[in-house]
Amino acid sequence: MSVALVHDQTDLNDKVAAEVRAALGRFQLKQLDLAAVLGVTQTQVSRRLRGEVPFTLRDVDAIAEWFSTSPAVLLGYANEPQPRKPELVRCAHRGSNPGPAD
């Protein structure tokens, strides 16, 4: 693998992480909200947002759908349409205590 290819992949992951962080901040959403969308833990989301672990194409697609935007926006290749505030995903988070039985 060439150095340029590794550099390009790192740059692309940094762009995605920056776009996702910006959208989360813009709509005052939490990493835990994104974790529910991706079906991962908050720690895994944090590692993606810090650039330690790259976002997968499946992640990018799910995040774009959640924000009602295009994957191209998250990849830094388009400015329109701008992300819109998503509906929060309602699901049990890992490590949460179950509620009382009905």
Mean pLDDT by 10 residues, the chain (102 residues): 53 92 94 97 97 96 94 85 69 45 44
Angle between helices 42-49 and 3-26 in degrees, nearest 10:
120
Residue 85 pLDDT: 76
Distance CA 84, CA 75 (A): 16
Residue 5 pLDDT: 44
Q: Domains of the chain: which residue ranges?
A: 3-74
Instruction: Please check whether residue 58 is in contact with residue 66, taking contact to mean a CB–CB distance below 8 angstroms.
Output: no
| Fold (CATH) for 3-74 | 434 Repressor (Amino-terminal Domain) (1.10.260)
Instruction: Please check whether residue 51 is in contact with residue 13, taking contact to mean a CB–CB distance below 8 angstroms.
Output: yes
